[in-house]
Amino acid sequence: MRATRLLALICLASHLAQASELPPSPPGSAGKPSRPNIVVLLADDWGFSDVGAFGSEIATPNLDALARQGTRFSNFHVSASCSPTRSMLLTGVDNHLNGVGNMRETIPLEHEGKPGYLSVLNDRVVTVASLLKDAGYRTYVAGKWHVGKERHNLPDQRGFERSIIQGDSGSDNWETGKRYLDLTDKVYWYEDGKEASMPKEFYSSEYYVDRMINYIRTDEQAGKQAQPFFAYVAFQANHIPLQAPRSFIEKYKGNYKDGWTALRQARRDRAIALGLLPKDTPMVTMSTTKDWEALTAAEQAYQARRMEVYAGMAEAMDYHVGRLIAALKQSGQYDNTIFMFMSDNGAEASDPYAMLSARLWLDMYYDSDIDKLGDKGAYSIIGPSWSSAAASPLSTYKFYAGEGGIRVPLIIAGKGMQQNRIHQSFTHIIDIAPTILELANTPRPNGSYQGKPVETMRGSSLIPVLFDGKERVHPTDENIGYELSGNQALFRGDYKLVKNLPPVGDGRWHLYDIQLDPGETRDLQTSLPEVFSSMQAAYAQYAKDNGVLPMPEGYEPTQQVFTNAMVHVYIPRFKYPAILLLLGLVTAGYLLMRRRRTTLNKAKS
């Protein structure tokens, strides 16, 4: 009997030991945590390969750790500029239907105020924050808002219980009252729905994380630990002006001496090695990329320093993400938290110094000396050539509908998910809101909210990907349209129909297989004429259904920024002085003519 029991114990121990060595079985949706905390981390103007886990040389250890603990989405798409993406992230509704058909800074004057082109959220959408708050979640936002600073559009009216936000497209990262361009009369800060009293100086990434940690900790101290939270941290990094603490910038000294073409190639190779892209993924050299070897040694040094600042700013943001993660671990909240990281659009290629009016303004308020780049009072950009490397191996960048403008990194991580997984099928920003709601066991609004009609969320939840390992959430015959500033696209399965306006594009339709050719190098319209024509028809239907307006002749987004600044900032600002000046000139002319007439009359007499 003893021998039998001993043998049974030995067999049981052996069985348990063998089981512990087996790889864990993929969890199903039943493994999804019940009502987890949800943290959305939104970077600003990060290119596809700006994260270490997506092929970057920039140190992003905290984001990389999240990537290992969850899923990297290598075929995730957003809008090509800030506020349209943010509007879809918060509502799950196409930007033309939610009111942000274009952002305020780039909208042509002919479109202003038209249906779908308010440049702010309209009253026909409800945010995920409102729905989560109604479902018992604590809701917080810290950072760049940019979906409307009217009273009814401030975070406290859009479902956030606590908020500290910068209302417009951006501002300085060191000085809270300093604008990054002369696009508004001041920097608009709001806290809990009222104009905020801000410290004179801060560092934006650090400040937003500090405030978020404080919101969470304060409610926990008030006894709300059992109540889950939704935290939305919208960083200004890496929006211009590029600024970062010296300690981060100096880590990259000398890293970019070989130039942007070498960096673009190196990042492509790393992304392939990581399994994010197909082997031997081809890529184009964009027409806006300059020849590095044609630059003088001084020009190369200056350009390299710009990229060092960019890298330092990205690493600084990652560092502060790490502080938020550490705070959640310390409070015991980490294990029940789902993290989502993404960028709002591709890398920023615009050069404000190329416009005389902007250059004159920048020279008055900012320093551009190489030894001061990144510091308080200094202004830096990366421009189109480095942006092509940040988007590697994709084509185009911010504002344009090429993959470099709208395909960005997405990482989703949390307990119960499959780990270190790469999802390569098409996904879209309108999928995020449905995913958040399903995580929170909260239903989507069914055409109405609090008795008022609202637009229906169009996206697909990513839960089957995250917990069940599903390979595709969008059917291969589903059409998903896109338009911003006249740059247009339609996605169907692995195919993408796309048209980009000059000067970056040629204004004609092209067809690509973005699964096999994410760099958009092989146009398939002649080899797949039926697909090409049917997708054109599908785009036309999308444009009709969503109220997409045709663009004025000669429209160009960066030029429009300064036209809008003139109309909305300079003319109102100088309206009364201009009227007085005009009256003065008319009066002076009249007096001069009167005096001259008197003199002539005297001469005649």
CATH number at residue 131: 3.40.720.10
All residues at 6 or more sequence positions from 254 whose CB lies less than 8 Å from its CB, including other chains: 304
Same domain, 487 and 469: no
User: Would you state the pLDDT for residue 16?
Assistant: 30
Decide which of 17 and 322 is more confident: 322
At 31, is the pLDDT very low, low, confident or very high (cuts 50, 70, 90)? low
pTM, 2 dp: 0.90
- Residues labelled as active-site residues: 82, 146
Q: State the Cα–Cα distance between residues 440 and 308, nearest whole angstrom.
A: 40
206-255 residue pLDDT tens: 999 999 999 999 999 999 989 999 999 999 999 999 999 999 999 999 99
Tell me, yes or no, whether 583 lies in a domain. Answer: no
Cβ atoms 520, 395 nearer than 8 A: yes
Tell me, yes or no, whether 582 lies in a domain. Answer: no
Same domain, 463 and 510: no
b/e burial code for range 114-127 (CB count within 10 A of at least 16 → b): eebbbbbbbeebbb
At 10, is the pLDDT very low, low, confident or very high (cuts 50, 70, 90)? very low
Tell me, yes or no, whether 556 lies in a domain. Answer: no
Q: What is the DSSP letter of 343?
A: E
Same domain, 465 and 487: no
282-317 residue pLDDT tens: 999 999 999 999 999 999 999 999 999 999 999 999
For residue 64, give its domain range. Answer: 29-476
DSSP 469-527: --S-SS-TT-EEEEEETTEEEEEETTEEEEE--TTTS-SS-EEEETTT-TT--S--TTT
Cβ atoms 232, 140 nearer than 8 A: yes
Same domain, 376 and 510: no
Tell me, yes or no, whether 22 lies in a domain. Answer: no
pLDDT at 27 over 50: no
Tell me, yes or no, whether 590 lies in a domain. Answer: no
Domains identified in the chain, total number: 2
Asked which of 525, 550, 575 is the last residue of a domain, the reply is 550
Same domain, 463 and 485: no
Length of the chain: 605
Tell me, yes or no, whether 284 lies in a domain. Answer: yes
Same domain, 342 and 490: no
Cβ atoms 79, 85 nearer than 8 A: yes
342's enclosing H/E stretch is strand 337-343
Same domain, 489 and 394: no
Structure tokens of 40? 């959305």
Any idea what the CATH number is for the domain that residue 505 is in?
Answer: 3.30.1120.10
Same domain, 191 and 237: yes
Tell me, yes or no, whether 287 lies in a domain. Answer: yes
Q: State the average pLDDT for the chain.
A: 91
Asked which of 518, 550, 582 is the last residue of a domain, the reply is 550
User: Would you state the pLDDT for residue 24?
Assistant: 32
Cβ atoms 471, 494 nearer than 8 A: no
How many helices and strands in the chain, by DSSP H and E? 18, 18
At 13, is the pLDDT very low, low, confident or very high (cuts 50, 70, 90)? very low
443-468 residue pLDDT tens: 999 899 999 999 999 999 999 999 99
Going by C-alpha positions, the residue among 366, 307, 368 that lies closest to residue 47 is 307
Span of 14-28, 109-123, 309-323, 364-378 with lowest mean pLDDT: 14-28
Q: State the Cα–Cα distance between residues 395 and 403, nearest whole angstrom.
A: 6
Span of 92-101, 128-137, 394-403, 560-569 with lowest mean pLDDT: 560-569
Residue with tokens 């779908």: 116
User: Would you state the pLDDT for residue 14?
Assistant: 37
Tell me, yes or no, whether 567 lies in a domain. Answer: no
Asked which of 533, 550, 567 is the last residue of a domain, the reply is 550
Same domain, 462 and 523: no
What average pLDDT score do residues 546-571 get?
A: 87
Distance of CA 437 to the CA centre of its chain: 21
Q: State the Cα–Cα distance between residues 267 and 244, nearest whole angstrom.
A: 23
At 357, is the pLDDT very low, low, confident or very high (cuts 50, 70, 90)? confident
Same domain, 122 and 234: yes
Cβ atoms 413, 339 nearer than 8 A: yes
Same domain, 487 and 467: no
Same domain, 235 and 294: yes
480-500 residue pLDDT tens: 999 999 999 999 999 999 999
pLDDT at 22 over 70: no
